[in-house]
Copies of this chain bind each other. A is one copy, B any other.
Amino acid sequence: MPRQARAQATRAAILEAAAQILERDGLAAFTTNAVAARAGVSIGTLYQYFDDKDAILLAIARQESASVAALVVQALDGDTSVDSAPRIRIVIHTLIHAFGGRQRARKAVVQAVFARGLAEEFLAPVTRFTAMLADRLAGGHGAGSRERAFVLSRSVMGAIRAAVFEEQPFLKARSFEDELVRLVVAYLAAR
């Protein structure tokens, strides 16, 4: 637990250095010694704030995850329509455009999180939201409702993530968003 202000500053410096290295040089260049050097601290200090290399990536991932969650909540707050399709579109739009800014760093973080099998922590909120949606609209609490929420959330996230990873040119095109909305609406209507 950090007591002094400089401790927080050091921790922040390490995270910023990590994000910079990921953005500029990719995952391969992301070594603990490199991060410490760029942050201007010794390697020992780095390990005083993070248990291991993964912990740095996890901290960045949690930051980003919280930021996206906040964006979704904010976007939904401004929507007063009763119809579900616009709501669905808002969420999908936000998720697609969340991958802006530090593209490479985000990609690297997502890669790392997935490579270490830690995706569940970050997908759980999406699943919960999806379950709510599915329950309300399709009224399904019975058998297979867990599977339904899973398929719904993972299929959408899977498609978006694939587009990001493969750097598909239509990632931010309206047509892509349309198709995802259609997918969700069609699936929710099917019974």
Which chain B positions have C-beta within 8 A of A156? 155
Q: Which residues from chain B contact A161 at a C-beta distance below 8 Å?
A: 158
- From B150, B173, B190, A186 is in contact (CB under 8 Å) with B190
A47-91 near B? 1/0 per residue, CB < 8 Å:
000000000000000000000000000000000000000000000
Q: Are B159 and A176 within 8 A (Cβ)?
A: no
Chain A binding site: helix, strand, loop or mixed by DSSP? helix
How far apart sit A16 and B177, CA to CA, in the bound complex (Å)?
A: 43
A12 contacts the other chain (Cβ, under 8 Å)? no
**Chain B residues in 8 Å Cβ range of A162:** 119, 123, 150, 154, 157-158
Give the interface residue-count category, chain A: 35 or more
Flag whether A98 is at the interface (Cβ < 8 A).
no
7 A-B interface contacts by CB (under 8 A):
A119-B162, A144-B175, A144-B179, A147-B175, A154-B163, A155-B156, A183-B187
Q: Which residues of A line the B interface, CB within 8 A?
A: 27, 107, 111-112, 114-115, 117, 119-120, 123, 143-144, 146-148, 150-151, 154-159, 161-163, 165-166, 168, 170, 173, 175-176, 178-180, 182-183, 185-187, 189-190
